[in-house]
Amino acid sequence: MFCQPDTEGTCPEDYRCVEHTNPNFGLTNYDNMFYAVLTTFEIITLEGWTDTMYIVRRSEGSYLYDMFFVFCVIFGAFFVLNLMIAVQFNFLNVAFDEIDKKKAADKERAIKEKEDFARKPTEEATASNMGSESESQIDEEELAKRRGCCSRFNPPGTTCCCCYAPKQRACFQ
């Protein structure tokens, strides 16, 4: 049992005052702001709050401080902790929404690029039919490059965009 010195600085009869360290290896106390916040956080997270309440009750000899612990548990654990979780959940949802929007934009861009690649051979074929460029005007080295590209990357029955735009190596059906 913890004793308190009376007004004269002595302990009650049958008691002797002994120096003790704070409970839980000195971590559970209200001696300064850091330890007070740490102890209150332990109470709010419901981790050993009853042990702390009993230690305070034994040291003060009163049930009056139990109201503080009950208030911390009700207000802190059931209200503030859930509010913090809700805020974190909200920020997580915003982050996931941004990721989903980015993925959707990337998908739309890929579809647009695919459509552009599919359109390129048709546009060049139309241009060559109009006389802007014909196979006879292209030198043999360029033709070999185009044929080699198509034979390496183009499965049978598909149109190879790399034949028309050597920088792009993508084949479409």
Residues 66, 107: Cα–Cα separation, whole Å = 59
Q: pLDDT tens-digit profile of 69-103?
A: 999 898 888 888 788 899 999 999 999 999 999 99
Q: Quick check: 152 and 170 in contact, CB under 8 A? A: no
Angle at 52 between CA 46 and CA 57, to 5 degrees: 130
Which residue in the block uniquely carries the two structure tokens 């196979």? 135
Q: pLDDT tens-digit profile of 114-152?
A: 888 877 765 555 555 554 444 455 555 665 555 555 555
Q: Quick check: 47 and 14 in contact, CB under 8 A? A: no
Contacts (Cβ under 8 Å, ≥6 apart) of 10: 17
Q: pLDDT tens-digit profile of 44-63?
A: 888 888 899 998 888 888 88
Domain-wise residue ranges, the chain: 1-64, 87-172
| pTM of the model as a whole | 0.42
